[in-house]
Chain A
Amino acid sequence: MRRRVAVVGAGITLFRRRMLETPKELSFEASKMALDSAGLTLKDIQSVVSGSAPDAFDGVHMKGEYYLDGMGAIGKPHERVYVGGGTGVFTPIGGWWNVASGMYDTCLCVAEEKMSPLHPHPQYAFWSIFDQILERPLGTTLLWIFSLEMRRYMHKYGIKEEEIAEVAVKNKGNAIDHPSAQLGARITVSDVMNSEPICSPVKRLDVSPPSDGAAAVVLVSENVAKKLTDEPVWLDGVGWTLDTMHWTNRDLAYPEYVEKAAKMAYRMAGIKNPRKEIDVAEPYDPFDYKELHHLEGLQLAGKGEAPKMTVDGVTQRDGDLPVCPSGGLLGVGNPIAAAGMMKICELFWQLRGEAGKRQVKKDARTGVAQAWGDLMQVGTVAVMRS
């Protein structure tokens, strides 16, 4: 039967536009830091789960095989789990089933991403995510489809670009306090509004940057956790859902797949009223409107109501529901899989009260992290408790 799973260590590298370290080396650094913080060595680890987004970034086929020695997986059972942009939060979910099932007692979960090898720009990897027959001939890019989604969200609920820009201002400001951050900055709504349009209504400062980086956590079973630490953080709920490949056929105003994934995780964690029971949230924010979209999918805001919460300051670090206290992808950076894992690391530190200058004001006991990806199609959700 299901066993309770604890997070006992976390590690993260710098997030930067171009790192000199190879994917193996980035993985090593994050893994070492996570193991050190848990007071464990590689010998104590029984299995390894890794996550990384498209092989097209590195140009390495079977990337999971290539980097596995960097995370110490030689001679161990290693599996690479993969749900596009949702991979970061899904990687610890993979670790969760390694431990919760009773298969292994200790599992190292590592998410690594090196987007910079792709020239002239990492966005080119996304050309190959589209249907070969129906979509690629249109020369579609990711920014196109997200601008459609942002436009639809604004149209349906009457949301202004300025309200959405508040998210970028908050997250980039929060990131100033994150030692790994790539784009921490004090900016204003008018900075966002006046930034260069990339694909209207998406502007430069609405978007997270391409990044290199890695992040890792150590998961253990309850009896191991009790021997290691007095303050484990429990991974009490996990959920994931994929919607249809036909993204053109659904209403882009609301992420139903996030709702389903969140309900799966909340049910597992015994959460009945998420808005009351969740103290801190790290929803996926590759674009500023996505944070709002995802808060609604996570049942932390009513449909179309997340912008008002943001404008009212509810989602600030000292607010009633701090959202992306880390600085999120907009501020810390977006090495895709590693960015999702960064959110898990942030909850670990927030729930242990070890987030330093980023520590939220309220006494945070329960947190939720979420990532999103594919063709605006997948939601992955993790609920953590101290």
Chain B
Amino acid sequence: MPLQVGIVGAGYAGFDSMTPGLSTRELMFEASSRAYEDAGIDPRRDVQSFICCTEDFWEGISITDEYMPDQLGAVLRPLCTVSSDGIIGLATACMHIMSGITDVAVVESHSKISDVLNPSEITSFGFDPIYTHHHLDADPRFLAGMEMARYLKDSATKREDCAQVVVKNKKNALSNPRGVHGANIDREGVMSSPVAASPLTELESSKGIDASIVFVLASAKKARRLGDHTVWVRGVGWSSDTPVVEDRDFGWAHYVEQAASRAYKMAGIGIPASYFDLAEVDDTYSYKELQSIEALKLAKKGKVGKMLSSGVFDRDGRLPVNPSGGSLGVGHLLEATGLHRTLEAVLQLRGEAGRLQIPRAKKALVQSWRGIPTATGAVAVLSN
């Protein structure tokens, strides 16, 4: 079934390592005000569904939807939390529109990681409380180190390829006004940075930043009446592998493959490798970008390293991947990470990406992962 839901408005606030001048609610207010202005809507009149993607422990509040309505203009209106990545929030908005609950829906997600004193400990609380949580003292990225080691063993990808992802993304981020962690570095510098969880180094591990991102989505009919910069959602998919980390195949991202195959089917895409003009994919850790590209079928199995070193994924390459700088270059945004990737893709498809602009970009792929210790991810296919 072809999906046709329009992203008619986008707004964001923050994109800094700390936002001491703004509370979470104020960040959300700024981002949503800009999104509503961008879409030309009044939330109190036009929107019948608001969706927030948050997790309680990151907020430091139980039942975080309590504190969402006011700053979004959603008081006494349908609002809910989807405790997941923002792309699953976008998928939910699509379902609300397709089922006729509303013709305009709003999706918000944010990170206020600078307020969190103990991010590693909170991540560790995601592990199984009986079997795995006793590693609380360990840096939870031990799981990423293990997965990276297994991926390097099972695939043709080389250690240096992972470092090259960091070089590429941090360089891209230097041209991105939202890029907090942009840098000009080389592979040696990446590999000789302190070890986070062997073989993963600190520079290969994205760092959290603050931001709120808001999208306004509309039915095809409504979108045609709202502005002239609509970006269409053509397909969405999301999936989860087992939460039991000991049972997982660390070498292959099955959740990405499953999510992508649903999104591609919906969008009617036969050969993804030659379909897209750009991709914003998960790069929470360096190796994740390469592992995801393979599972997304954007590269033939075993070829991703070669393609990377020959420049295929560079901003001027055949298939730019994370031209924005991704999470490694811009920063990681917790559950808003998927919306960040979507934001960068939407700006590209609108031709509003400034120095990052990829000429004649028409079709984009975005993909996210919910982070340690999950194997849950989502994919969206966008076009202008």
Interface residues of A (CB under 8 A from B): 1-3, 22, 53-56, 58-69, 73-84, 90, 96-98, 100-103, 117, 125-126, 128-129, 131-132, 238-246, 256-257, 260-261, 264, 373-375, 377-378
Contact with A along B73-105 (1 / 0, CB 8 A): 011111111111000100110111111110000
- Of residues 243 through 293 on chain B, the ones whose CB sits less than 8 Å from some CB of chain A are 243-244, 254, 258-259, 262
- Contact B61 A132, beta carbon cutoff 8 Å: yes
Nearest-CB distance from B129 to chain A (Å)?
A: 6
- Contact B94 A374, beta carbon cutoff 8 Å: no
Nearest-CB distance from B324 to chain A (Å)?
A: 26
Q: Which residue of A lies closest to B63 (CB)?
A: A84
Q: Which among B76, B123, B130 has the greatest number of chain A C-beta atoms within 10 A? A: B76
Q: Which residue of B lies closest to A243 (CB)?
A: B76
Q: For A129, list chain B residues within 8 Å (CB).
A: 61-63, 66
20 more CB-based (< 8 A) A-B contacts, given A77-B237, A242-B77, A245-B68: A59-B129, A60-B129, A62-B57, A75-B239, A75-B258, A77-B238, A78-B239, A80-B83, A80-B84, A81-B82, A82-B63, A82-B82, A83-B65, A100-B99, A101-B97, A129-B61, A242-B75, A246-B70, A374-B66, A375-B66
- Contact B243 A66, beta carbon cutoff 8 Å: yes
Nearest-CB distance from B301 to chain A (Å)?
A: 20
A-B pairs with beta carbons under 8 Å apart, 13 shown: A61-B123, A62-B55, A62-B57, A65-B243, A66-B243, A75-B241, A78-B240, A80-B82, A97-B92, A97-B101, A128-B60, A244-B69, A244-B76
Q: How far is the CA of A54 from the CA of B122 in the complex (A)?
A: 15
- Of residues 35 through 86 on chain B, the ones whose CB sits less than 8 Å from some CB of chain A are 55-57, 60-63, 65-70, 74-84
Q: For A244, list chain B residues within 8 Å (CB).
A: 69-70, 75-76
- Contact A55 B62, beta carbon cutoff 8 Å: yes
Q: Which residue of A lies closest to B122 (CB)?
A: A61
Q: How far is the CA of A100 from the CA of B96 in the complex (A)?
A: 9
Nearest-CB distance from A151 to chain B (Å)?
A: 22
Q: How far is the CA of A89 from the CA of B76 in the complex (A)?
A: 18
- Contact A65 B56, beta carbon cutoff 8 Å: no
Q: For B238, list chain A residues within 8 Å (CB).
A: 77-79
Contact with A along B113-136 (1 / 0, CB 8 A): 000000000111110111000000
Q: For A68, list chain B residues within 8 Å (CB).
A: 240, 243
- Contact A56 B56, beta carbon cutoff 8 Å: yes
Q: With A80-B83, A256-B76 in contact, is A97–B96 under 8 Å at CB? A: yes
Is B242 an interface residue, CB under 8 A from the partner? yes
Is B376 an interface residue, CB under 8 A from the partner? yes
Is B374 an interface residue, CB under 8 A from the partner? yes
Q: How far is the CA of A67 from the CA of B83 in the complex (A)?
A: 13
Q: For B1, list chain A residues within 8 Å (CB).
A: 102
Q: Which residue of A lies closest to B373 (CB)?
A: A65
Is B370 an interface residue, CB under 8 A from the partner? yes
- Contact B67 A59, beta carbon cutoff 8 Å: no
- Contact B262 A77, beta carbon cutoff 8 Å: yes
- Contact B63 A245, beta carbon cutoff 8 Å: no
- Contact A377 B66, beta carbon cutoff 8 Å: yes
- Contact B74 A242, beta carbon cutoff 8 Å: yes
Q: How far is the CA of A377 from the CA of B319 in the complex (A)?
A: 48
Q: Which residue of B lies closest to A74 (CB)?
A: B242
User: In the complex, which range does the number of interface residues on chain B fall in?
Assistant: 35 or more
Q: Which among B61, B68, B374 has the greatest number of chain A C-beta atoms within 10 A? A: B61
Q: With A62-B370, A373-B63 in contact, is A82–B78 under 8 Å at CB? A: no
- Contact A241 B78, beta carbon cutoff 8 Å: yes
- Contact A69 B99, beta carbon cutoff 8 Å: no
Q: For B99, list chain A residues within 8 Å (CB).
A: 2-3, 96-97, 100-102
Q: Top 7 nearest A-B pairs by Cβ distance?
A: A101-B98, A61-B125, A54-B62, A100-B99, A101-B95, A84-B63, A101-B99
Q: Report the number of A-B residue pairs with Cβ-Cβ less than 8 Å.
A: 183
Q: Which among A60, A62, A67, A260 has the greatest number of chain B C-beta atoms within 10 A? A: A62
Q: For B66, list chain A residues within 8 Å (CB).
A: 84, 129, 245, 374-375, 377
Q: Which residue of A lies closest to B92 (CB)?
A: A79
Nearest-CB distance from B345 to chain A (Å)?
A: 21
Q: For A66, list chain B residues within 8 Å (CB).
A: 126, 128-129, 243
Q: How far is the CA of A131 from the CA of B100 in the complex (A)?
A: 35
Q: For B242, list chain A residues within 8 Å (CB).
A: 69, 74
Nearest-CB distance from A222 to chain B (Å)?
A: 13
Interface residues of B (CB under 8 A from A): 1, 55-57, 60-63, 65-70, 74-84, 88, 91-92, 94-101, 122-126, 128-130, 237-244, 254, 258-259, 262, 370, 373-374, 376
- Contact A54 B63, beta carbon cutoff 8 Å: yes
Q: For A239, list chain B residues within 8 Å (CB).
A: 78
Q: Which residue of B lies closest to A23 (CB)?
A: B129
Q: How far is the CA of A134 from the CA of B244 in the complex (A)?
A: 40
Q: How far is the CA of A132 from the CA of B374 in the complex (A)?
A: 29
Report which of A59, A79, A82, A261 forms a contact with B65, defined as CB distance below 8 A.
A82
Nearest-CB distance from A109 to chain B (Å)?
A: 14
- Contact B125 A60, beta carbon cutoff 8 Å: yes
Q: Which among B77, B254, B258, B373 has the greatest number of chain A C-beta atoms within 10 A? A: B77
Nearest-CB distance from A119 to chain B (Å)?
A: 13
Q: How far is the CA of A78 from the CA of B255 in the complex (A)?
A: 11
Nearest-CB distance from B290 to chain A (Å)?
A: 23
Nearest-CB distance from A325 to chain B (Å)?
A: 28
Q: How far is the CA of A66 from the CA of B258 in the complex (A)?
A: 19
Q: For A240, list chain B residues within 8 Å (CB).
A: 78-80
- Contact A82 B126, beta carbon cutoff 8 Å: no
- Contact A374 B78, beta carbon cutoff 8 Å: no
Q: How far is the CA of A249 from the CA of B62 in the complex (A)?
A: 21
- Contact B69 A245, beta carbon cutoff 8 Å: yes
Q: For B57, list chain A residues within 8 Å (CB).
A: 55, 61-62
Q: For A75, list chain B residues within 8 Å (CB).
A: 239-241, 254, 258
- Contact A374 B63, beta carbon cutoff 8 Å: yes
- Contact B240 A76, beta carbon cutoff 8 Å: yes
Q: For A117, list chain B residues within 8 Å (CB).
A: 129
Q: How far is the CA of A76 from the CA of B258 in the complex (A)?
A: 8
- Contact B75 A243, beta carbon cutoff 8 Å: yes
Q: How far is the CA of A102 from the CA of B195 in the complex (A)?
A: 47
Q: How far is the CA of A53 from the CA of B128 in the complex (A)?
A: 18
Q: For B122, list chain A residues within 8 Å (CB).
A: 61
- Contact B100 A2, beta carbon cutoff 8 Å: yes
Nearest-CB distance from B73 to chain A (Å)?
A: 11
- Contact B88 A79, beta carbon cutoff 8 Å: yes
Report which of A58, A82, A100, A131 forms a contact with B80, defined as CB distance below 8 A.
A82
- Contact A260 B240, beta carbon cutoff 8 Å: no
- Contact B84 A79, beta carbon cutoff 8 Å: yes
Q: For A54, list chain B residues within 8 Å (CB).
A: 56, 62-63
- Contact A102 B98, beta carbon cutoff 8 Å: yes
Q: Which residue of B lies closest to A93 (CB)?
A: B80
Q: How far is the CA of A244 from the CA of B25 in the complex (A)?
A: 13
Q: How far is the CA of A302 from the CA of B259 in the complex (A)?
A: 49
Q: With A56-B56, A75-B258, A126-B62 in contact, is A69–B81 under 8 Å at CB? A: no
- Contact B98 A103, beta carbon cutoff 8 Å: yes
